[in-house]
Chains A and B, each alone.
Chain A
């Protein structure tokens, strides 16, 4: 079935249901919010329900995102349990159908923050939300041809993180520690993953400025600690003493590398990582890692919900905002041995108090397409 027909049927079903419901309530004028054409939503919603659509609760990352969302909900005087969790379990189809069900249930009176799970899934989600007159902010996944400003006010914003620059910074820190010469190996994520590609690209950027540094090898370790340990020990056989530095695409990978080296009695290898997990920050403080990078999922989770909610109640009008407020990069914080202790005190030992109406303060500029 073509998407046009599918969308039309969805739309008609929703409209009829709403017409019946609204008719019963005697508010026929409010019946079909999507009928005025896309982008002409109701001026503002009153007391919209807030939802977060995300992958799962098993990972520290999404737990952090959700905690941020809950902190925002509490800041507007509601309770944590008022934040509706739509858990996709890594299924794009489930993510879309959950959101459509939620739109129907709330009659479009809602604000949604969402990771669409994969890039193509963002469009049907955003179209459903706009058609229902609700508001949405997305993170991480959307195609390059989909833009919030093509949907008036309903598609509030999209935030993603650019890993290339920070990965280049960690590489530079690594090369400085290696004294500007020697051999480096890179252990990456799953080869086709966007962050894995960007983090390796960052390393290559830094290599251009260090002609004395040789990239001996770069192979995927699939974000996996066990695989990283195995790969590192195989690298040791192949390159031996020529390895004088290790560039890891993630903290999880660095843990495996450290243990593979510990087994060989090597304790002074310069290593850099990425993600800013609590364990990694501790390792930076202990001097076992030179640096890692934090992307502040807590703030990302809170601010995405805040943007959708405040657009919905009319605090600000997204279509009047400049483009860098509609599509922007999330914050990245480089953690080195100089500031790890301070970082831990600020972000890990206590949760920072964020101003959830400072929408773009910590963000990192407009998303660039290549």
Chain B
């Protein structure tokens, strides 16, 4: 990337500037917005969608799309609760095994989505959407439409134990963001995502096993969805077949608002992080400044469009698909 051109610089930093602008705007209207407690509330609300957004960023950078997150998160959350309770229902007494178990479940789920997409030659859009429905259906089947609750204080410390005023899960999320950033910039797999997204034929001709990269990408996304599911359960103390509902819209919107291009190869983990923060700051800020609820959805849509316009370089693309 050539960073000498000011125009490129502006576009690269646009999402961060949008975020800063929103913070200034909301604080000017209601100073309570910028209190430590409110920032902790925003961070907490942003944690589960952040994990989903990190997962889907890898896929979008590859030039594919993954719409299976709602089903994946619901199923992982429900299974996590059931395994947790089966193992005694307290983290200290062996139920911690539910965590690696569910990360493996998430990876397998992603692998299966990837397999349907790559092996059966079904476009990722359709394959992942269908797998999302499979996940939701399986969650209904497992729970019979009931809610599964976890009341283990040790596990719930993810929510209740605060370090520097922020819940424990926010700190863990920051570590996971660093991990995702490391995968993207310092591993072969991460570089290959960009190679595939930038030009599949070219990557293939250069000796990259495109199919394997795609499968690995979906499996990696699945692990992040499983982490999101664990955070959702930690935050709400329960799981049901709708635990993952609404995450698809928030995650995809966030990634795009953050400046990751849907045609692949552009943007990355840090864009997704800023995007999730933008969407959550808007959601929290609109309530905090006392905007009437019937205006909130409309305004969210308008702000999203503005943010996308500001954060993507139209000159880099010949057409929008």
Contact = CB atoms under 8 A, between A and B. Distances in A.
A226 B236 CA distance: 7
A196 B293 CA distance: 14
A265 B236 contact: no
B246 A226 contact: yes
A220 B296 CA distance: 11
A263 interface: yes
Contacts of B159: 259, 262-263
Contacts of A262: 156, 159-160, 237
Contact of B38 (A224, A237, A259, A263): A237
Interface residues of A, number: 32
Contacts of B44: 233, 263
Contacts of B160: 262-263, 265
Contacts of A220: 293
Interface string A206-246: 00000000000101100011110111011111101000000
Contacts of B246: 224, 226-227
A229 B236 contact: yes
A58 interface: yes
Contacts of A236: 37, 41
B146 interface: yes
B237 A238 contact: no
Contacts of B156: 262
A126 B246 CA distance: 36
Interface string A264-298: 11000000000001010000000000000000000
B32 A240 contact: yes
B282 to A, nearest CB: 11
B35 interface: yes
A191 interface: yes
A237 B288 contact: yes
A233 B144 CA distance: 30
B236 A219 contact: no
B232 interface: yes
Given A225-B238, A234-B284, A255-B238, A263 B32 contact: no
A256 interface: yes
Nearest to A218: B293
Contacts of B37: 236-237, 264
B287 interface: yes
A226 B233 CA distance: 10
A63 B144 contact: yes
A165 B30 CA distance: 37
Given A225-B238, A226-B232, A233-B44, A238 B167 contact: no
Contacts of A259: 159, 235-237
A9 interface: no
B45 interface: yes
B45 A57 contact: no
A58 B241 CA distance: 8
A59 B284 contact: no
Contacts of B287: 219, 231, 234-235, 237-238
Contacts of B290: 217, 238
A234 B40 CA distance: 11
Contact of B45 (A59, A191, A233, A235): A233
Nearest to B39: A237
Interface string B207-251: 000000000000000000000000010011110011101100000
Interface string B149-173: 1000000100110000001000000
Interface in B118-168: 140, 144-147, 149, 156, 159-160, 167
A333 interface: no
Interface string A243-263: 000000000000110010011
Nearest to B292: A219
A226 B245 contact: yes
Contacts of A58: 140, 145, 241
Q: Which of A57, A225, A237 counts the most chain B CB atoms within 10 A?
A: A237
Nearest to A233: B41
A230 B300 CA distance: 15
Contacts of B232: 226
B45 A279 contact: no
Contacts of B245: 224, 226
B233 to A, nearest CB: 11
A57 B145 contact: yes
A279 B149 contact: yes
A20 interface: no
A57 B146 CA distance: 11
A255 B236 contact: yes
Interface of A: 57-60, 63, 191, 217, 219-220, 224-227, 229-231, 233-238, 240, 255-256, 259, 262-265, 277, 279
Given A225-B236, A237-B38, A238-B30, 12 more contacts: A219-B287, A224-B242, A226-B232, A226-B236, A227-B246, A233-B44, A236-B41, A237-B287, A259-B159, A259-B236, A263-B160, A265-B160
Instruction: Give the top 5 A-B pairs by smallest Cβ distance, nearest first.
Output: A234-B287, A233-B41, A237-B38, A219-B293, A58-B140
Interface of B: 30, 32-33, 35, 37-38, 41, 44-45, 140, 144-147, 149, 156, 159-160, 167, 232, 235-238, 241-243, 245-246, 283-284, 287-288, 290, 293-294
